[in-house]
């Protein structure tokens, strides 16, 4: 009871001259500045989340890239110059932002596909294989062993679009859905002459990640060894898992070695520049507003203490130490400052939740809760503000 009476007395003596209008102005400026600062970190973090390939984000080509060597006039007629050596593959493992490297193994034997339908359709084709860990939407029955007469195939979704909207319309052939293609059976002939073999093939899935016709690795290795005597060849293409394909060091690595990839897959490079500029500009504005809000808040505290100098001197004569009075003033103003920061974080969490829901409709996956970087920015801001306010109160009382 005595402690409560003391606090009531101190509050009447020390805080009676404070101006609530100035206090609210300082808190509003502080809240707006903190919100903008956290939003700038949030924009940067969300962009990195999309690049990291979470959920279905890698379907944008932002995580997995297919890389080959540029075909120049000097390399024309010299296919060996467009192949990757073991040393180059090992070097790619250590390239900036590269997390994993896989080899696309091509067939080195003739392949002929014929549809088993009333529609007469046959074509030469190529086959490729990649390590299973690079295949998106890998089917359960994605397996082949020598002796199996059925070969599973994964077709690029882009190839299906080219057939439906280009080849089929120009040739008067029926357009096909994914379900209809998977229901079709066709013969797959490999090799020529006495070594020719015929298999039953069917499409078991579609890839948004790899622009190719994929078969299990074991099938390509078997055919290459059967018809060429060699099971492995230097690859002409590599598939990379990249943490951030917009990274300038990574792009420079490709350019200096004349490596090429789909330019559309590197479109994030320009977007990243824009995002970085927006985040930086927002961050600078936020720091400016936070600085103004903090300055007004500190000036308000100092003005409150200056107006209570007579009461402060009387309390010190009664035995109250400057340290005790400083802690009392800090306890009065600290909750208000923390409430402004908490309100800013609440607004940012609402913004993140709304952004995640909206991007989900675009098949982009983002967490509904801001990442640790945003919380860290909030924590650092709170610690810096507490340090400034504590120092201002100590200096004003002394």
pLDDT more than 70, % of the chain: 72
Confidence of residue 60 (pLDDT cuts 50, 70, 90): very low
Looking at the fold, whether 189 and 77 belong to one and the same domain comes out as yes
Is residue 30 a contact partner of residue 293, using CB atoms and an 8 Å limit? Answer: yes
At 377 the pLDDT is 82
As to burial, measured by CB atoms within 10 angstroms (0-12 exposed, 13-18 middle, 19+ buried), residue 36 is buried
Asked whether the predicted pLDDT for residue 61 surpasses 50, the reply is no
In a domain, 258, yes or no: no
Asked whether the predicted pLDDT for residue 128 surpasses 70, the reply is yes
Confidence of residue 124 (pLDDT cuts 50, 70, 90): confident
Selected residue with higher pLDDT from 171 and 17: 171
Asked whether the predicted pLDDT for residue 310 surpasses 70, the reply is no
Asked whether the predicted pLDDT for residue 216 surpasses 90, the reply is yes
User: Cα separation of 263 and 6, whole Å?
Assistant: 72
Looking at the fold, whether 72 and 143 belong to one and the same domain comes out as yes
At 55 the pLDDT is 46
The domain of 158 spans: 64-242
Confidence of residue 3 (pLDDT cuts 50, 70, 90): low
Confidence of residue 176 (pLDDT cuts 50, 70, 90): confident
Confidence of residue 302 (pLDDT cuts 50, 70, 90): low
Looking at the fold, whether 234 and 285 belong to one and the same domain comes out as no
Asked whether the predicted pLDDT for residue 17 surpasses 60, the reply is no
Asked whether the predicted pLDDT for residue 166 surpasses 60, the reply is yes
In a domain, 192, yes or no: yes
The two structure tokens encoding residue 194 = 């006495």
Domain-terminating residue out of 242, 261, 280: 242
Count the alpha carbons within 13 Å of 69 in the hemisphere toward its beta carbon.
21
Looking at the fold, whether 173 and 129 belong to one and the same domain comes out as yes
At 139 the pLDDT is 83
Q: Coil, helix or strand for 396?
A: helix
pTM: 0.57
Looking at the fold, whether 305 and 183 belong to one and the same domain comes out as no
* Among 278, 258, 254, CA closest to 266: 254
Looking at the fold, whether 189 and 150 belong to one and the same domain comes out as yes
Q: Coil, helix or strand for 205?
A: strand
Looking at the fold, whether 85 and 209 belong to one and the same domain comes out as yes
Count the domains in the chain: 2
User: Cα separation of 235 and 217, whole Å?
Assistant: 13
For residue 103, what is the enclosing H or E element? Answer: strand 98-106
Under the phi-then-psi rule, with left for phi > 0, alpha for psi from -120 to 50, and beta for the rest, what region is 248? alpha
Tens-place pLDDT, residues 336-345: 788 888 898 8
Strand pairing category for 197-207 and 186-190: antiparallel
Q: Residue 139, Cβ neighbours under 10 Å: how many? A: 13
Confidence of residue 333 (pLDDT cuts 50, 70, 90): confident
In a domain, 263, yes or no: no
Give Cα separations from 186 to 108, 118, 198 (angstroms): 21, 12, 10
User: Cα separation of 310 and 258, whole Å?
Assistant: 77
Looking at the fold, whether 74 and 41 belong to one and the same domain comes out as no
At 152 the pLDDT is 92
Give Cα separations from 63 to 48, 54, 100, 156, 270 (angstroms): 11, 9, 11, 17, 16
The two structure tokens encoding residue 97 = 């932002």
Selected residue with higher pLDDT from 387 and 199: 199
At 22 the pLDDT is 66
For residue 289, what is the enclosing H or E element? Answer: helix 268-307
Is residue 191 a contact partner of residue 197, using CB atoms and an 8 Å limit? Answer: yes
In a domain, 73, yes or no: yes
> Out of 132-146, 163-177, 196-210, which region has the weakest mean confidence (pLDDT)?
163-177
Selected residue with higher pLDDT from 180 and 219: 219
Q: Residue 332, Cβ neighbours under 10 Å: how many? A: 18
Go through the chain and tell me how many residues it has.
Answer: 398
At 24 the pLDDT is 75
Is residue 176 a contact partner of residue 163, using CB atoms and an 8 Å limit? Answer: yes
At 348 the pLDDT is 87
User: Cα separation of 184 and 203, whole Å?
Assistant: 8
Looking at the fold, whether 52 and 69 belong to one and the same domain comes out as no
Looking at the fold, whether 212 and 352 belong to one and the same domain comes out as no
Q: Mean pLDDT, to the nearest integer, of 327-344? A: 79
* Among 221, 238, 239, CA closest to 230: 221
Give me the DSSP letters along 132-187. GGG-TT--TT----TT-SEEEEEEEHHHHHHIIIIIHHHHTPPP--HHHHHH--EE
CA angle centred on 73, ends 67 and 74, rounded to 5°: 90
Selected residue with higher pLDDT from 311 and 237: 237
User: Cα separation of 174 and 164, whole Å?
Assistant: 8
Asked whether the predicted pLDDT for residue 54 surpasses 80, the reply is no
Under the phi-then-psi rule, with left for phi > 0, alpha for psi from -120 to 50, and beta for the rest, what region is 144? beta
> Out of 97-106, 162-171, 217-226, 276-285, which region has the weakest mean confidence (pLDDT)?
276-285
Looking at the fold, whether 46 and 73 belong to one and the same domain comes out as no
Strand partners, 187: 114, 200
In a domain, 250, yes or no: no
Average pLDDT, the chain: 76
In a domain, 256, yes or no: no
Looking at the fold, whether 173 and 287 belong to one and the same domain comes out as no
User: Cα separation of 210 and 239, whole Å?
Assistant: 8
Is residue 323 a contact partner of residue 28, using CB atoms and an 8 Å limit? Answer: no
386 Cα distance to chain centroid: 33
Tens-place pLDDT, residues 255-288: 888 888 866 555 655 666 666 676 677 667 767 7
Is residue 37 a contact partner of residue 381, using CB atoms and an 8 Å limit? Answer: yes
At 313 the pLDDT is 60
Domain-terminating residue out of 193, 223, 242: 242
In a domain, 252, yes or no: no
In a domain, 260, yes or no: no
Asked whether the predicted pLDDT for residue 220 surpasses 60, the reply is yes
């Amino acid at each position: 009871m005595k402690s409560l009476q003391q606090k009531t007395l101190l509050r009447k003596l020390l805080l009676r001259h404070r101006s609530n209008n100035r206090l609210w102005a300082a808190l509003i400026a502080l809240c707006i500045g903190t919100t903008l600062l956290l939003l700038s970190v949030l924009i940067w973090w969300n962009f990195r989340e999309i690049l990291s390939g979470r959920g279905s984000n890698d379907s944008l080509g932002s995580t997995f890239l297919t890389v080959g060597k540029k075909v120049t006039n000097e390399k024309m007629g010299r296919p060996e110059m467009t192949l990757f050596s073991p040393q180059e593959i090992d070097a790619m493992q250590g390239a900036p932002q590269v997390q994993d490297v896989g080899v696309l193994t091509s067939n080195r034997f003739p392949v002929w596909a014929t549809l088993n339908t009333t529609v007469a359709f046959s074509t030469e084709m190529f086959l490729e294989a990649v390590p299973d860990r690079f295949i998106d939407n890998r089917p359960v029955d994605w397996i082949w062993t020598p002796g199996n007469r059925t070969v599973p195939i994964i077709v690029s979704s882009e190839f299906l679009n080219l057939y439906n909207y280009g080849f089929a319309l120009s040739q008067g052939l029926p357009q096909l859905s994914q379900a209809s293609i998977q229901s079709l059976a066709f013969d797959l002939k490999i090799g020529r002459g006495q070594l020719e073999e015929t298999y039953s093939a069917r499409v078991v899935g579609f890839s948004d990640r790899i622009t190719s016709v994929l078969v299990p690795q074991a099938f390509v290795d078997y055919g290459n060894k059967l018809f060429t005597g060699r099971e492995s060849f230097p690859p002409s293409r590599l598939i990379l898992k990249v943490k951030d394909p917009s990274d300038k060091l990574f792009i420079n690595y490709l350019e200096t070695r004349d490596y090429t990839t789909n330019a559309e897959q590197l479109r994030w490079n320009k977007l990243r520049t824009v995002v970085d500029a927006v985040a930086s500009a927002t961050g600078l504005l936020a720091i400016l507003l936070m600085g103004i809000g903090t300055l007004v808040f500190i000036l308000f505290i100092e003005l409150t203490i200056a107006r209570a100098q007579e009461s402060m001197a009387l309390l010190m004569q009664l035995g109250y130490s400057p340290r005790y009075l400083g802690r009392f003033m800090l306890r009065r103003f600290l909750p208000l400052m923390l409430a402004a920061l908490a309100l800013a974080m609440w607004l940012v969490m609402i913004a993140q939740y709304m952004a995640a829901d909206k991007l989900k409709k675009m098949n982009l996956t983002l967490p509904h809760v801001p990442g640790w970087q945003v919380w860290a920015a909030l924590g650092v801001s709170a610690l810096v503000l507490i340090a400034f306010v504590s120092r201002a109160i100590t200096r004003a009382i002394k």
